[in-house]
Amino acid sequence: MKASALPLDFTKIPGGLATAVVQDAKTQQVLMVAYVNAASWAKTLATGETWFWSRSRQELWHKGATSGNTQKVVAIQVDCDADTVLLKVDPAGPACHTGHTSCFYRDITDFDRKE
């Protein structure tokens, strides 16, 4: 993958972290949301697997490095402001550290719906 073809403008993003939405390429289910900096973005483009920046550990994070639940990148889309990326992936297992397929497994049902 060529970084120049898929630009993210890290210079205009506070803290240099772009939001990364990860979606299953086959089911279209949103699996997780994470953050990429210039280094993790470059590794994602170079390896074809997802790499992120861990805000809590302050280090690069290769998704699946310890669990084996890697994510092969199938397609990439960058939003109109070049500060958010959509990564469509072929997951090798659950995305969530809890073992759920997606990190979005909890429903909120107690809210006012405007008709």
Binding-site residue set: 79-81, 83, 96, 103
d(CA 82, CA 85): 8
Straight-line distance from the first to the last Cα atom of the chain, in angstroms, rounded to the nearest whole number: 45
Which residue positions form the known binding site for Zn(2+)? 80, 96, 103
Which residue positions form the known binding site for Mg(2+)? 79, 81, 83
Residues paired with residue 73 on neighbouring β-strands, in sequence order: 89
- Closest C-alpha to 50, from 13, 25, 80, 79: 25
Residue-level length of the chain: 115
Residues paired with residue 62 on neighbouring β-strands, in sequence order: 51
The DSSP call for residue 49 is: B
d(CA 40, CA 74): 17
